[in-house]
Structure formats: C-alpha cells, structure tokens
C-alpha cells in the first residue's frame, strides 16, 4: 500500500474525534510493518492519550517486537511539549521507531517543528507533506486558530427558491426538511460556539443546542444590545453556557455570561479576540440576515453552508450575498440543496472529495 493510503486511514481515524478533541486537533495514527497495519489509534477527546500513544497501545503483544522496525503514519507532527499528556515525539523516540511519516507540521508555537527535530535527533527518518492539503482541511479550525489568532468562522443559512431567508414580517418559517435540520444539529456538535442576532433570538426563540444529535452543545452567543430579549426565552435556560453580548453590563449569573462592549465597528473583531482568548476554535453563525451580512462585510468568514429549500415566499428578507467566495461542493439532501463555499482569502483550499 502507498503512503497516501495509510495517511488517508489516519485522517479517517482522526475524524472520529470530531467535536471532542478541541482545543486540540483531530489526529489519527497508523503503525505499519512490511505493509501490514499492526496498530491504529486516534485522539478520542481532549485530555486523553494522543493518537500515537493509542496506536502503540493497540499493537498486539505478539507484534510488539516489530515496533522498532515499523513506520508510524500520523497526520500531524507529534507534539514536543508537556501538556496534560507527555510529549509524543519523545515517546516515539523511546520506542525506537524506524520511520515517521507526517502530513502537516504543527502550527502550535510550542511544537512547530520541535517534534520533528526530536525525531530526527533520535535517528528516526522523517517524511512530511503526505496528503498535506487534505490533512490541513480536516484540521482547518485548529490551523486557523493558531495562524490567524481567531476562531474558524462558518456562516450557515437556509433560503427559499426565490432567495429569501425569512418572511417580511420576520415570523419563523421552516425552509428546509427534517434531515437537513438534523444535519445542522450534527454540525453544532462539531463547533465550539454558535451565534445569532437579537431579532433571530427574539422572534424565533431558538434553543441553539444539538438536541437532535448526540454530542456536545456549543457555547451560545447572542447579541442583545439593550437586553430586550425576554428572560423566559430558551437562551436563558441552563442547557448550555451562554454569552449575552450587550452594552449594559458585564456579569456572570449562573450559566449566563453578560459580555459588555459598545455596538460599533469594533464589536465583531473584539468578540473574535475574546473567543480566541477562551480557546474557542470555531464559530458557526446561524443568523439572521443582518448579522450574517455584518460578518461578510467585515470579511470575517472562512466557510459558508447554504441550504436552498423548495418553498417560495414572494415577499421576504433577502438572503445574504457572499463576497470573495469560491464554491467547494454541492449535494442534495432529500428535497433540499446544500452548497458549501470557502472564502478566497482562506488559508485552506478545498481538496475535492473531502467532507465538511
């Protein structure tokens, strides 16, 4: 089998940790001896053993003597620092593994080449750049966070056949079907935070949770300049941690954090910095139109996911218009149509055939 084959297996393994490893990356590892996989592993959740350690643990007793003469494939440079777990580069050096094949160098400043150097100093042959673009796409949230010092931003909305995001009276309208709605809840488990504006929070009274899919709820962020959203709305329940961004007060009340900042052109950049400081790798923005357009105007987006349903409204609120976008892929979900775009200024090109 080729190096690309084994690296693709690493990516498949690593993605099993999606929604559970942040702020760490998704990593898979495969140990190969004479074209036979003798061990596999991935990083299951934040704070647990890393992929390389789990891979070594997976090797059967009768194969352990083969480890020094094997090749470790891993989609991200082995860590070189002491965190919750010991450095993986040191562990591989201790095991005396013959070769290590890596997709991406780690952008985290405490690693960033140091892991590779540890391996080389131990006499291990190191190869890099195998499925580099594909691996960077899988960990685009992690890469964006460390290279841009802000979360990876995903815009999501649903629009009608005639290009409206909601009726003119801003009443709640279900544009997409049940399967698309469930997919959105799956996406929520994969992102660190979710955000809506005042009108959406007030009129739709959304829960902003992942109740239709098993996984973690994202941090809920709601803009409410004058604190007008009724206290009986879902955002004030205890389901998930919530930030209410406003101009009135800075306070922590149970699970609700009132974050104070002036509502001017500095608001969104300030909020992105605050998310970075609290190690939130990603943000999905779900509306409404004014908030989505504000992110687009500021150039604060990396990816957009747009559903088009089968209904029409005739008179409604126009859907946002992207700027500097390039289409990544499209697919049909029952009666709905999904298109995904990436920002042309994004660091990551979309590798054909990859999933979101």
Task: Tell me the catalytic residues.
Answer: 52
Collapsing DSSP states into helix, strand and coil, what is residue 224? coil
C-alpha radius of gyration, the chain, whole number: 22
Distance CA 310, CA 275 (A): 36
According to DSSP, the residues that pair with 166 across neighbouring strands are: 317
Q: How far apart are CA 249 and CA 247, in angstroms?
A: 6
Phi, psi of 118 (to 5 degrees): -60, -45
Contact assessment for residue 58 and residue 39, using Cβ atoms and an 8 Å cutoff: yes
Q: Is the peptide bond before 23 cis (omega within 30 degrees of 0)?
A: yes
**The sheet that has 325-333: what strands, in order across it?**
251-253, 256-260, 242-246, 219-223, 193-196, 282-285, 152-159, 303-308, 336-343, 325-333
- Contact of 139 with 104, CB cutoff 8 Å: yes
Reduced to 3 states (helix: H, G, I; strand: E, B; else coil), residue 285 is strand
The CA angle 16-196-306, to the nearest 5 degrees, is 60
Closest CA to 70 of 35, 45, 112: 35
Partnered with residue 351 across adjacent β-strands are none
At residue 286, φ and ψ (nearest 5 deg) are: -110, 10
Is residue 265 helix, strand or coil? coil
């Amino acid at each position: 089998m080729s190096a690309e084959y084994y690296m693709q297996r690493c990516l498949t393994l690593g993605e099993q940790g999606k929604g559970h490893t942040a702020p760490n990356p998704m990593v898979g590892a495969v140990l190969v001896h004479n074209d036979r996989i003798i061990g596999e592993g991935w990083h299951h959740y934040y704070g647990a053993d890393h992929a390389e350690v789990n891979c070594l643990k997976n090797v059967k007793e009768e194969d352990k003597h083969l480890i020094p003469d094997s090749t470790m494939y891993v989609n991200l440079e082995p860590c070189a620092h002491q965190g919750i777990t010991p450095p993986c580069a040191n562990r591989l050096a201790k095991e005396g593994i013959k070769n290590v094949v890596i997709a991406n160098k780690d952008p985290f400043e405490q690693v960033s080449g140091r892991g590779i150097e540890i391996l080389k100093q131990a006499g291990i042959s190191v190869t890099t750049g195998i499925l580099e673009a594909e691996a960077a796409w899988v960990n685009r949230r992690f890469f964006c966070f460390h290279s841009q010092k802000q979360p990876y931003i995903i815009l999501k909305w649903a629009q009608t056949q005639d290009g409206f995001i909601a009726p003119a009276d801003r009443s709640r309208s279900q544009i997409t079907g049940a399967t698309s709605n469930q997919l959105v809840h799956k996406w929520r488990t994969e992102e660190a935070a979710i955000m809506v504006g005042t009108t959406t929070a007030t009129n739709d009274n959304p829960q902003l949770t992942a109740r239709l899919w098993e996984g973690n709820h994202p941090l809920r962020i709601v803009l409410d300049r004058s604190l007008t959203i009724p206290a009986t709305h879902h955002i004030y329940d205890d389901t998930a941690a919530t930030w209410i961004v406003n101009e009135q007060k800075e306070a922590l009340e149970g699970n609700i954090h009132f974050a104070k900042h002036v509502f001017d052109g500095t608001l969104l950049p300030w909020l992105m910095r605050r998310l970075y400081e609290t190690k939130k790798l990603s943000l999905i923005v779900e509306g409404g139109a004014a908030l989505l357009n504000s992110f687009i105007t500021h150039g604060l987006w990396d990816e957009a996911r747009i559903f088009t349903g089968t209904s029409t409204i005739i008179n409604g609120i126009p859907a946002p218009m992207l700027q500097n976008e390039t289409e990544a892929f499209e697919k049909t979900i029952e009666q709905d149509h999904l298109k995904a775009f990436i920002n042309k200024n994004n660091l990551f090109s979309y590798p054909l055939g990859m999933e979101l």
